Chain A
């Protein structure tokens, strides 16, 4: 079945460590996104990528990095510079032109910093 796979589902990290969250899609979508979700704050955009080898910062990119070497993959690295990384992270993808079409979401990854 086509879809978006995020891994791991749960991740624990010590302060000062970088962690990478995986996002893979087999929907043949061009655009991919990373959102952060905190209770009561909805979804905030971290990074997005419209095509391979290109990505743009969203609203809260500080302390995060991404790469887009393949169309199917858009991994997110949470660096030690991110001051409050404990959150639920959602990856999404879409096809179509810029402001049309719906986002398809993965099941999310919950990161907890100990």
Chain B
């Protein structure tokens, strides 16, 4: 079945430390991939997206993600986390010709001062 998996429910990092959030997908071809961020009680904001081409994608707020076909992964990274990055992060993918964007269950990021 087509799915998006975010294996980490919670991640805690210290401010200034690097961050990597994991995302794996299950699909027979290359999907269109997205990372969204959600602050508490708010809607989702797009951080970055991958459709094709360069597998390292730059986004807003200093985030980047790398698509690895061999690992069916699209992990989100940031070299130095700021306290304002504390939020919930969702990976999502279009996997076929339907209108349904499939979301992972989210990873909540906590930032230690």
Chain A interface residues toward B at CB < 8 A = 4, 6, 31, 33, 40-43, 45, 48, 50, 56, 58, 88, 90, 92, 98-100, 102-108, 110
Q: Are A40 and B105 touching (Cβ within 8 A)?
A: yes
Given contacts A42-B90, A43-B90, A110-B41, 11 further A-B contacts (CB under 8 A): A33-B99, A40-B106, A42-B103, A42-B105, A48-B99, A50-B99, A99-B98, A100-B94, A104-B46, A107-B42, A107-B43
Q: Are B99 and A102 touching (Cβ within 8 A)?
A: no
Residue of A nearest to B4 (CB): A42
Residue A90 contacts which of B34, B43, B97, B98 (CB distance < 8 angstroms)? B43
Report the minimal beta-carbon distance from B93 to chain A, rounded to whole angstroms: 9
Q: Find chain A residues with CB under 8 A from B101 CB.
A: 33, 103
Q: Find chain B residues with CB under 8 A from A90 CB.
A: 43-44
Q: Are B96 and A105 touching (Cβ within 8 A)?
A: no
Residue B46 contacts which of A31, A102, A106, A107 (CB distance < 8 angstroms)? A102
Q: Are A58 and B43 touching (Cβ within 8 A)?
A: no
Residue B94 contacts which of A41, A42, A99 (CB distance < 8 angstroms)? A99
* B87-113 with Cβ < 8 A to chain A: 90, 92, 94-101, 103-106
Q: Find chain B residues with CB under 8 A from A43 CB.
A: 44, 90, 103
User: CA–CA, A24 to B39, complex, Å?
Assistant: 21
B83 at the interface (CB under 8 A from A): no
User: CA–CA, A87 to B36, complex, Å?
Assistant: 20
User: CA–CA, A31 to B36, complex, Å?
Assistant: 19
Q: Offer 25 A-B interface pairs, CB within 8 angstroms, sorted by A.
A: A4-B43, A6-B43, A33-B99, A40-B106, A41-B105, A42-B103, A42-B105, A45-B100, A48-B99, A48-B100, A58-B100, A92-B44, A98-B94, A99-B96, A99-B97, A100-B32, A103-B46, A103-B92, A104-B46, A105-B43, A105-B44, A105-B45, A106-B43, A107-B42, A108-B41
Q: Find chain A residues with CB under 8 A from B51 CB.
A: 100
Residue of B nearest to A107 (CB): B43
Q: Find chain B residues with CB under 8 A from A40 CB.
A: 9, 105-106
User: CA–CA, A54 to B105, complex, Å?
Assistant: 29
